[in-house]
Chains A and B, each alone.
Chain A
Amino acid sequence: MRSPARAEPLQGSSSREILIHKLAAPGQSGDLAHCLRMLTEYLGASNYLLARYDLVQEDGLDFVVASDWPFDLVRRLDSELATTYSQSTELEKCMSVLQPKYNLLPDDVHVLDGISRQYCSITLNVGRTRLALMLLFPQDHVLAADRLREVGLLIGYVVGLSVSKGQKSDRDFELTERELECLFWIAEGKTSDEIATILGISRNTINNYITSVMRKTATKTRSEAIAYAVRNNLV
């Protein structure tokens, strides 16, 4: 797969310079939608969908960060994404960061004329937040892999800029530092007694922390609480 940038090096590199230049202002002000529009055009793609990949397993469309995909398509893809997310292991997810992947849209959805039934997705992380950019693109158009990686990076930059200004990430909203610390040591195989020694607090306090974690995460056993923590990247 040859990238357009390689075929015309001069033009390719200057268009990248222009892109970086134009991205600076909306990037700084945290105008994510504007940045996404520009990056989508830069790739020659037609529509973008930026998703909180780590939230696709939950109900509703909260996972959508920004999108100009047709709404029906987003709704239809919801379950599809949740399935791919749960079928890949944490390690596979780590190894595939910034590696473009192609999938087919479900057969029963209607796509606009001239748009490919394939869509491209690329994942990235900002702090503990895992994001996926999904792109619709015209038929017979080839998205350049190196450009896609750079666009993934740039989105990470922009998201980082807008997050660091505003709220903290909402995943570990409910667990306190102490609770996370306990979870960490349990995942390392330590018993309550051992953790009590490590942290210099009483065994009962440790057990209270763990009970509170299980209540907050709606888990029934210690094992399940740890599994929850590992799955959600908390330890």
Chain B
Amino acid sequence: MGHQNRPGGSTLEDATWSSQRPVTSRTDIFPKLVSLQRSLNARGFAAFRVAGASLPHKRRLDAEYENWSSGLSSGRDAFVAAYGDTLLGHIEASTLPLMWCADDESSFIEASDFTPFTTQVDARLLPYSGIAFPVRLGAVGNGYIVFPTAGGADLPGELVLSVHSRCYQVMTDILSLDERKAMTSETLSEREIACLQLAGDGRISEEIAERLGLSVHTVNAYLGSATIKLDSVNRIQAIAKAIRLGYIT
């Protein structure tokens, strides 16, 4: 593996990133991913979100933005089949970038000046190499931005770090787009929020009624209407959603 192909350069195209304009549509996300692809000299990209909450065997990776087809012999599904479980396990404990090497000797990826801050996963599962950047924002907005690469690459540590930092920004942008959609539904009234908050604090309807000076029936009605507005089947699901959406704490 004597030949080392350094990617284009460690500076990112700042023009794509400098504008402070908030993202308003999916078309604002793609140029950012393309600029990262270019700076890594990669052959494509895919942004995955972890779906299925916290249950280990229910979790999966959903691709939300991708440019994976061009010239890659096996599709994105093959990537998920090969490395999906590794990626899902990894993000539960670590944010280190993951790299994988192809089954073809001439294609490899490493970051020799960035050990130990990258992890090499099982090699030779796919016909191309690549790097996956984990992004962990919290209850929502967890996933990976993945770049398949060509030939041999020894990525400078600085580049890995700055691309990873940009990956966080992209995931935050994706999340903010989602929320814009969610916010358009009917908003909760002050009373409904108060009832949900108290219910989440462990109060039963009778106690909530006493606290707010209402009848039990009214409290139940508020909780019922809140449940409908939050597109939930019962008050427990409504409370869970209300916390996630920030209506109550």
B95 near A95 with CB under 8 A, answer no
A187 near B236 with CB under 8 A, answer yes
When A127-B136, A222-B236, A223-B236 are in contact, do A24 and B158 touch as well, CB less than 8 Å?
Answer: no
13 cross-chain CB contacts under 8 A: A13-B158, A20-B113, A90-B138, A126-B95, A153-B165, A154-B117, A160-B94, A219-B202, A222-B236, A224-B201, A230-B240, A233-B139, A235-B54
Is residue B30 within 8 Å, beta carbon to beta carbon, of the partner chain?
Answer: no
Chain B interface residues toward A at CB < 8 A: 10-11, 53-56, 58, 91-96, 113-117, 136-141, 156-158, 161-162, 164-165, 168, 172, 175-176, 179, 199-204, 232-237, 239-240, 243-246, 249
- Complex contacts, B156 vs chain A, CB 8 Å: 17
Is residue A139 within 8 Å, beta carbon to beta carbon, of the partner chain?
Answer: no
B94 near A164 with CB under 8 A, answer yes
A224 near B165 with CB under 8 A, answer no
Q: How far is the CA of A133 from the CA of B5 in the complex (A)?
A: 36
- Complex contacts, A229 vs chain B, CB 8 Å: 240
Q: Which of A36-44, A103-111, A178-186 participates in binding chain B?
A: A178-186
Which applies to chain B's interface (DSSP): helix, strand, loop or mixed? Answer: loop
Interface string of A140-177 (1 = CB under 8 A from B): 00000010011001101100110110001100000001
When A28-B116, A94-B137, A189-B234 are in contact, do A223 and B239 touch as well, CB less than 8 Å?
Answer: yes
B165 near A89 with CB under 8 A, answer no
Is residue A86 within 8 Å, beta carbon to beta carbon, of the partner chain?
Answer: yes
Interface residues of A toward B: which range?
Answer: 35 or more
- Minimum distance in angstroms from B239 CB to a CB of chain A: 5
- Complex contacts, B138 vs chain A, CB 8 Å: 90, 93-94, 97, 125, 130, 233
- Minimum distance in angstroms from A100 CB to a CB of chain B: 12
Is residue A215 within 8 Å, beta carbon to beta carbon, of the partner chain?
Answer: no
Is residue A16 within 8 Å, beta carbon to beta carbon, of the partner chain?
Answer: yes
Specify which of B54, B95, B137, B157 is in contact with A20 (CB 8 Å cutoff). Answer: B157
When A223-B200, A223-B235 are in contact, do A91 and B116 touch as well, CB less than 8 Å?
Answer: no
Is residue A72 within 8 Å, beta carbon to beta carbon, of the partner chain?
Answer: no
Shortest Cβ distance from A27 into B: residue: B116
- Complex contacts, A187 vs chain B, CB 8 Å: 236-237, 240
- Complex contacts, B54 vs chain A, CB 8 Å: 180, 184, 233-235
- Complex contacts, A24 vs chain B, CB 8 Å: 115-117
When A127-B93, A153-B161, A189-B234 are in contact, do A98 and B168 touch as well, CB less than 8 Å?
Answer: yes
- Complex contacts, B246 vs chain A, CB 8 Å: 89-92
When A98-B168, A223-B200 are in contact, do A163 and B93 touch as well, CB less than 8 Å?
Answer: yes
A149 near B168 with CB under 8 A, answer yes
